[in-house]
Structure 1
Amino acid sequence: MTTMIGYLRVSTEEQASSGLGLEAQRESIRRYADAHGWDVIWYEDAGLSAKSLDRPQLQAALTRLHSKKRDAAGIVVAKLDRLSRSVVDFASVLELARAQGWALVAIDLGVDTSSPTGELVANLMMSVAQWERRVIGERTSAAMQAAKRRGQRFGFPSALPETTGERLLKLRATHTLACTATRLNAEGLTTATGASWTANTVAKVQKRISAAMEAVVEA
């Protein structure tokens, strides 16, 4: 029997909302899994928003799928917004699933990369996300260049080269925190203190850089 990871999430505000509760999501996934003959391993993030992918249980699920001894064929969510409210973030997970060879299923949208039709829907979403990412990237790049001419920095720790920070952001577009740390270490890039990267340090540096970049873009 195929084993899938069932991922559940509710924010603090949504915990009591009709149709968004953990049990409603669990039941939807259970029905879909039964129809496909899947066994389900459950991961849930309660009281957390979907503004980013940096949620403990989601990252644990993605790390499990990345393991060389992977014991699950993919991840399934009842609704797309349980995984992410960002098309770009969702596309990043899709790219990760494709690169690592596991399935991603969003029941409400008919995305199921284990089937031809679901793969088609996923590809259409990928195209939209790539367009959105390019538009955002062009806007951010223009703002960064203008700020650099003014001598403004972007929140990089003083001893961290901008090239390292930019590499971190590029990796995070398609990699989990743990995978990003592994790649940075493999490429011989260190933190501002010269230490090896961990998932925690990647998250902290990304948050600092992103906040500074957003401030520049909004200025």
Structure 2
Amino acid sequence: MLIGYARTSTAEQEAGLEAQHRDLSAAGVEKLFSEQVSSVDAAKRAQLEAALDYLREGDCLVVTRLDRLARSVAHLLTLVERIEAKGAGLRILNMGVDTSTPTGKLMLTMLGGVAEFERAIMLERQREGIAKAKAEGKYKGRKPTAQAHGDNVRELKAAGRSVPEIIEETGVSRASVYRLLRSDR
């Protein structure tokens, strides 16, 4: 059985998720697991875990691209090991890689290394660009969203509202609410 897994990092990437669904269906996927969560939050990837748990001997996990599954070679190899322990395989559509063959396993390891290298280079360039922008005074970083609600948080607390009520009304995280209130002392 072909088991599909689709992922985008954010809810705003709906078109990307739909494209993955389309490509996985065209590949003959019979059961599809899908989520919108950053791969960095590996512990929160419930649908990936569900897909891996669902795999049985002879099944194949299918993804459209390697970066939808893993961000590092170490993580990729751990996932492949789990998949193979179940007697299943992994297929990556855009690379034409299938780990049910020795050549497919070799190619996956090599391509995973290249993908990790590309990501490291991209992050290095990003850091360099941010440093240059900061030096030129063009980069201010992310706007501190909690600070923008500081007066409102303080007013609600002064009015006797509980922290959970303040969180619900302002959308500011619990830690930020406490940080804002602590800074007033």
Task: Count how many residue pairs are aligned between Structure 1 and Structure 2.
Answer: 114
Deviation for aligned residue 1:13: 6.3
For residue 83 of structure 1, the aligned residue among 60, 69, 87 is 69
Q: Which residue of 1 aligns with 2:33?
A: 43
Contact 1:52 1:84 survives alignment (8 Å): no
Q: Which residue of 2 aligns with 1:29?
A: 24
Secondary structure of the structure 2 residue equivalent to 1:104: strand
Deviation for aligned residue 1:71: 7.5
Secondary structure of the structure 2 residue equivalent to 1:58: helix
Deviation for aligned residue 1:5: 1.0
The whole-number CA distance in structure 2 between the counterparts of 1:53 and 1:102 is 21
Q: Which residue of 1 aligns with 2:53?
A: 63
Unaligned 5+ segments in structure 2 are 118-185
The whole-number CA distance in structure 2 between the counterparts of 1:31 and 1:120 is 26
Q: Deviations over 1:13-56 (max 9, x none)?
A: 6515x6xx1110112222233xxxxx42010112x001143211
For residue 124 of structure 1, the aligned residue among 110, 128, 133 is 110
The whole-number CA distance in structure 2 between the counterparts of 1:123 and 1:10 is 23
Give the residue type in structure 1 aligned to 2:83. A
Q: Deviations over 1:119-140 (max 9, x none)?
A: 33124357x59xx9xxxxxxxx
The whole-number CA distance in structure 2 between the counterparts of 1:94 and 1:71 is 14
Q: Which residue of 2 aligns with 1:7?
A: 5
Written as runs of structure 1 = structure 2, the 5 A alignment for 1:136-175 is none
Contact 1:5 1:72 survives alignment (8 Å): no
Deviation for aligned residue 1:4: 1.3
Instruction: State, as a whole percentage, how many aligned pairs show the same letter.
Output: 39
Give the residue type in structure 2 aligned to 1:53. A
Give the residue type in structure 2 aligned to 1:119. K
Q: 1:88 to 1:52 in 2, by over 3 A?
A: farther
Calculate the aligned-residue CA RMSD, in Å.
2.6
Q: Does 1:53 align with 2:42?
A: yes
Secondary structure of the structure 1 residue equivalent to 2:31: strand
Deviation for aligned residue 1:87: 2.0
Secondary structure of the structure 2 residue equivalent to 1:7: strand
TM-score with structure 2 length normalisation? 0.53
TM-score with structure 1 length normalisation? 0.45
Give the residue type in structure 2 aligned to 1:61. A
The whole-number CA distance in structure 2 between the counterparts of 1:72 and 1:64 is 12
Secondary structure of the structure 2 residue equivalent to 1:51: coil
Task: Kindly indicate whether structure 1 or structure 2 has the higher relative contact order, using CA contacts under 8 Å at least 6 residues apart.
Answer: 1
